[in-house]
Amino acid sequence: MVTTGSQQALDLVTRLFINPGDVVLAESPSYVGALGVFRAYQADVVHVAMDAEGLIPESLRETITTLEAAGKPIKFLYTIPNFHNPAGVTLSWGRRLEILDICRSHGILVLEDNPYGLLYFDQPAPQAMRSVDDEGVIYLGSFSKTLAPGFRVGWALAPHAIREKLILANESATLSPNSFGQFVITEYLDQTDWKGQIDTFRHLYAERRDAMLSALGEYLPKLSWTKPEGGFFVWVTLPDELDSKAMLPRAVKELVAYTPGTAFYSDGQGKQNMRLSFCYPTPESIRTGIARLATVINGEIDLLQTFSGANLTTPIPTRSSVTTPPPNTL
């Protein structure tokens, strides 16, 4: 089914399945735009741990067991298996199969969101989870990252019974998705070397990823970060005592911006993280940006050291008064 961007598919699936208080499982962290949808339908988002290979099956099992013991209805697992937003990591093939097994045995639907899959750098991502399970997976695709976000054209590949409901829900939501955009995209796919264009993007983004990783290594060697093999994002972990949300206005003052990690959690985590996006700036700008970020971070660490003897762990009630611009939800 064609939708108004895959964001609308997220909305429709959530509208169909979620009653207030139902559980949605999501990676820890997860996509800010999806969390916003889940929140709007009053879902209870429960994060499941990930590592460099993506969602951890053992953590998924434990989380499900705990939730089931508490009598909580789990409706679906929302996952971005390829070049995760914001974490940048990719779910390994072995884990894909294991996670599908776990979800199948607990009657949990999988919502597989794959906007970045074609944008790999060195080797293609593993096959989609939907490719081996056409009953338990709703797959979401999008032209936003491979062609242009402005068309607002995405699609959902859903099991038959769900697809029927999605079509009805879509009709009531928008009557029909943007048909002009679909004609243009059809023409584009028919008439141009779109795969060649995606190759161009892949090389462009790979060069930018390299610039970001090498600048991080050079300017902020003491921090840790993920090493994406595709997509747009690097997920950076700061020292414990720093707060990425409180730091953002200071970074903007130094003419560099990022998305604070707190945007990607529904439970207040993420203070020690930031999402850096390498898709838009040139390699030169990326280096400049990371150098500026290093100035901000090192300045804060220096200050914390000055006051380190003076019990710095006291919570300050007004810290929440620091505001941040809305995150870039692309």
Partner 1 sequence: MTTPLVPESLRTVTVLAGGISHERDVSLRSGRRVADSLTAHGISVELRDPDATLLGHLSETRPDVIWPALHGASGEDGALRGVLEALDIPFVGSRATAARLAWDKPTAKALVARAGIHTPRSVTLSHDAFRELGAVSVLQAIADEHPVPLVVKPARGGSAQGVTVVDDIAGLPRAMVDAYTYCEDVLVEQKIVGTEVAIGVIDTGDGPIALPAVEIVPRSGFYGFEARYNAGETRFFTPARLDDTVAAAAAAAAVAAHTALGLRHLSRVDLIIDAAGTAWFLEVNVLPGLTETSLVPLALEAAGYDLGWLYAELAQKAITDHRA
Question: Which residues bind to partner 1, rule: CB under 8 A?
Answer: 246-247, 249-250, 252-253, 255, 299-300, 303-304, 306-312, 314-319, 321-323, 325
In this structure, are residues 75 and 14 in contact, taking their beta carbons and an 8 Å threshold? Answer: no
Using the minimum distance from each CB to partner 1, give the nearer residue, 175 or 310: 310
Report in angstroms how near the CB of residue 219 gets to partner 1 at its nearest.
19
Q: Say which DSSP state 120 is in.
A: B
Secondary structure string (H, E, C) spanning 24-45: EEEEECCCHHHHHHHHHCCCEE
Rounded CA gap, 321 and 194, in Å? 47
Report in angstroms how near the CB of residue 312 gets to partner 1 at its nearest.
5
Using the minimum distance from each CB to partner 1, give the nearer residue, 180 or 307: 307
In this structure, are residues 212 and 286 in contact, taking their beta carbons and an 8 Å threshold? Answer: yes
Using the minimum distance from each CB to partner 1, give the nearer residue, 98 or 300: 300
SS3 275: strand
Report in angstroms how near the CB of residue 306 gets to partner 1 at its nearest.
5
Residue 284 CA: distances (Å) to CA of 13, 259, 290? 41, 20, 10
In this structure, are residues 8 and 181 in contact, taking their beta carbons and an 8 Å threshold? Answer: no
Using the minimum distance from each CB to partner 1, give the nearer residue, 138 or 257: 257
Report in angstroms how near the CB of residue 221 gets to partner 1 at its nearest.
22
Report in angstroms how near the CB of residue 238 gets to partner 1 at its nearest.
14
Q: Say which DSSP state 157 is in.
A: E
Helix segments in 85-193, DSSP class H: 93-106, 160-174, 179-191
Using the minimum distance from each CB to partner 1, give the nearer residue, 147 or 242: 242
Using the minimum distance from each CB to partner 1, give the nearer residue, 191 or 314: 314
Rounded CA gap, 89 and 226, in Å? 7
| CB atoms inside a 10 Å sphere around CB 200 | 10
Report in angstroms how near the CB of residue 240 gets to partner 1 at its nearest.
14
